[in-house]
Copies of this chain bind each other. A is one copy, B any other.
């Protein structure tokens, strides 16, 4: 078992970052050759999943999130904090903060056009903490 926190800076709402290299670097440091790496974004307005990381999809994915939880409708959440990010919370809960990826021969097992992405769902740029845990042998 090896655990390390990675920090990344997002560029604003629905910014999508490819964090595959950061995750693979933790796997390399761990010395673990075969097992699973768990990636978890701390906080309730960001999400982690996989996607082909290319500019078109970086616009298409937010389009779908807008259909699921439109930005400009009323959210009860706004009554509590007045920070107008109810849609951010809802989108984050549905996509989820947690992803596990297999590790084989010390490398991430991903498709050629499959990267680990962090999606900023909050309404502003944020510094994000991602906990990476490698388990195996």
Contacts and interface: CB of A to CB of B under 8 A. Distances in A.
B40 A101 contact: yes
B59 A76 contact: yes
Interface string A42-80: 111000011110111101110111011100000111111
Contacts of A57: 75-77, 86, 89-90, 93
- The A interface, classified by DSSP as helix, strand, loop or mixed, is mixed
Interface residues of A, number: 60
Contacts of A40: 100-102, 109
A80 B97 contact: no
21 contacts: A1-B135, A1-B137, A3-B102, A3-B104, A35-B133, A42-B111, A43-B111, A44-B114, A49-B97, A56-B86, A57-B93, A60-B69, A60-B76, A61-B94, A64-B94, A67-B67, A68-B94, A93-B117, A94-B95, A133-B136, A135-B135
Interface of A: 1, 3, 34-36, 38, 40, 42-44, 49-52, 54-57, 59-61, 63-65, 67-69, 75-80, 86, 89-102, 104, 109-111, 113-114, 117, 131, 133, 135-137
